[in-house]
Amino acid sequence: MTLATAVVDGQHLAWDPARVVDADARLFDPAWWCSRGAVRGEAAGRGAAYFVDGLDGAPWVLRHNRRGGALARLNHDRFLWTGAARLRPIAELRLLAAMRADDLPVPAPVAARAVRRGGFYRGDVITAALVESRPLADRLAMAPLPATEWQRLGGVLARFHRAGIDHADLNARNILIDAADAFHLIDFDKARRRAPGRWRQANLARLKRSLDKCADGLAEFHFAEGDWSALRGGYASVFAAR
């Protein structure tokens, strides 16, 4: 997939020309989508998202880039300008396109923009929605996953790591399960390709902390050490495969 790019009135834009004829600022404005009666829902969280009826007839997700952590209280969505080559929303769109080309289970890229104001910028990303899917955290709050599914999830994560993909925020809400029980990863803000290293185990450790936090905070959450062992077994098997 080759993304189209343009710079218009200080806005850096990138888009898939197969889905968007000509990207402009309206695509990233929730009010514009509301005026068309095209908003189908919202999702709260660090990167608040709108689910809309896309221009290509398929559902899209519009997400505004927001900061996390303590800094978000002072600056919730501005990022330091360090050059056009290092814009996070554009980088995320390009990485999604590359991962799709590698047949990794991620949303299809639609469009992204970065709007510069002085020494900072704000960003937005649009992807195709993964229909009839739910976060792993929600699935585990309802019922347990069989050991074979944990193994399969470990294998999916191994595929990303073999491709050198470092997901900066791998957690129980950024893994989706669709109606066919297939796993997908979402939210690749700050993700990147990296050479082999300890970041792989850091990714897995972050996911484990997320699952443990859900288990501690919810009255019913189906996650046990045996599940994690099954995931690690599936990961090791696929990662070692030739």
CATH number of 133-240: 1.10.510.10
pLDDT for 9 equals 85
Average pLDDT by stretches of 10, the chain with 242 residues: 89 94 89 94 72 94 79 71 93 97 97 94 95 95 97 98 96 96 95 96 98 94 97 97 78
Q: Report residue 222 as tokens.
A: 């189906």
Backbone angles phi, psi at 173, to 5 degrees: -105, -10
pLDDT for 28 equals 95
Q: 3-state DSSP call for residue 24?
A: coil
pLDDT for 59 equals 96
**Annotated catalytic sites, by residue?**
169
Q: Determine whether domain 4-128 maps to CATH 3.30.200.
A: yes
pLDDT tens, position by position, 193-216: 999 999 999 999 999 999 999 999
Backbone angles phi, psi at 228, to 5 degrees: -65, -40
pLDDT tens, position by position, 110-129: 999 999 988 999 999 999 99
The angle subtended at Cα 212 by Cα 166 and Cα 158, nearest 5°, is 30
Q: Report residue 181 as tokens.
A: 């029980």
Let me know if the fold of 4-128 is the same as that of 133-240. no
pLDDT tens, position by position, 38-60: 999 887 655 578 999 999 999 99
Q: In 101-215, which ranges are E strands? A: 109-117, 120-128, 133-135, 165-166, 175-178, 183-185, 192-193
pLDDT for 10 equals 84
Q: Taking the domains of the chain in order of start, what are their residue ranges?
A: 4-128, 133-240
- Percent of the chain at pLDDT exceeding 90: 83
pLDDT for 127 equals 97
